[in-house]
Amino acid sequence: MYKHKMIPVKFAIISAVCLGLATFSFAQLEVPQGKSSNDYIGEAKKNVSSISVQEAKKVLAADKSTALIDVRPHSEFKTDGYIDNRKSLPAGRLIFDVRMRLPNRNTPIIVYCKKGKRSALAAHQLAQMGYLNVKYLDGGITAWKNSGYTVIKNPIDGIIDMPKGKSPEEFVNEAKAVAGNGISAQQAQKRINSNPNAVILDVATRREHAILGKISNSLVMEQGKVLFNIKKKVHDANAMIIVNCSGGKRAVMTAKMLKEMGYKNVTYINGGLEAWKKAGLSLVKSED
């Protein structure tokens, strides 16, 4: 009899302890009191305009210069499809990649997502970056479909069969084995100052120069043209060549190629133009 009476008593004690722990945990929990998602969206919508799917359809048909940007991740393509001729720039990569894809600030841009919230935020980011003609699609691709407009839907969209060969890192590491470890921006500046005949070979693109600028007196030659044109410009196998690009990786690859071509005094700037700028060294505006 004694044991049976103790069971409910033990249960009551355990319940009380658990309740006390739960109460203590919630008492210690401080709920964030900052901005909500609606605050961000509301702020974005105050600064950029929307466009209806009907108006967007007319604009896209009449003006082929208008860029249609899809900021959804690839995983949504399989379920919801996508609008024809869009540029895929997922929201997390947008601010990093858009200037390479759309270098002209006057390009008319329509941004879309599934329902319109992410695209409003993205459009606001683009406006802050200096794009002058940006709108977001009201209601997103959902409203587009509900209006009876066509979307492209392919069973393989959203499924990426990645190639299993060399990665970019493997190419770069192989190049470093030939080209060496490179030099810092400050070391490059010292070499340039001490040798007025040093060749600063810049293999970045015109778009990158428009954003970052370039080192004064650089020999600008996009990477794909170096193999064909470098011997026309640099005749001395012993010339000091310092290769540069925006981030440093293409410079490594180019330095390797130059060494294989017979140039004996070749190095590259680690981190490229971005490292040069971060070091506080001067860059000039591209004339292009």
Place of tokens 């001067």: 282
> Which tens digits make up the pLDDT trace of 99-110?
989 999 999 999
Question: What domain range is 236 assigned to?
Answer: 168-278
Within a domain: residue 79?
A: yes
User: What value does the mean pLDDT of the chain take?
Assistant: 88
If one compares 252 and 29, the residue with the highest pLDDT of the two is: 252
pTM for this prediction? 0.61
- pLDDT of 2 > 50? The answer is no
Contact assessment for residue 279 and residue 186, using Cβ atoms and an 8 Å cutoff: yes
- Same domain? For 107 and 183 the reply is no
Place of tokens 């970019």: 168
Within a domain: residue 140?
A: yes
- Same domain? For 116 and 172 the reply is no
Within a domain: residue 130?
A: yes
- pLDDT of 71 > 80? The answer is yes
Rounded mean pLDDT, 173-195 = 96
What pLDDT sits at residue 24? 46
Nearest to 101 by CA among 81, 126, 137, 83: 126
Within a domain: residue 2?
A: no
Within a domain: residue 87?
A: yes
- Same domain? For 207 and 239 the reply is yes
Count of domains for the chain: 2
Which CATH number covers residue 77? 3.40.250.10
What pLDDT sits at residue 155? 63
**% of the chain beyond a pLDDT of 70:** 87
Nearest to 152 by CA among 90, 88, 78, 84: 84
Within a domain: residue 195?
A: yes
Within a domain: residue 15?
A: no
- Same domain? For 90 and 134 the reply is yes
If one compares 277 and 164, the residue with the highest pLDDT of the two is: 277
State whether residue 168 is helix, strand or coil. Answer: helix
Rounded mean pLDDT, 51-62 = 97
- Same domain? For 207 and 140 the reply is no
- Same domain? For 55 and 97 the reply is yes
Question: Where does a domain end: 91, 115, 146?
Answer: 146
Q: Is 260 exposed, middle or buried (0-12, 13-18, 19+ CB in 10 A)?
A: exposed
- Same domain? For 194 and 272 the reply is yes
Look at strands 134-137 and 109-112 and give their pairing: parallel
**Separation between Cα atoms, residue 260 and residue 226, nearest integer Å:** 13
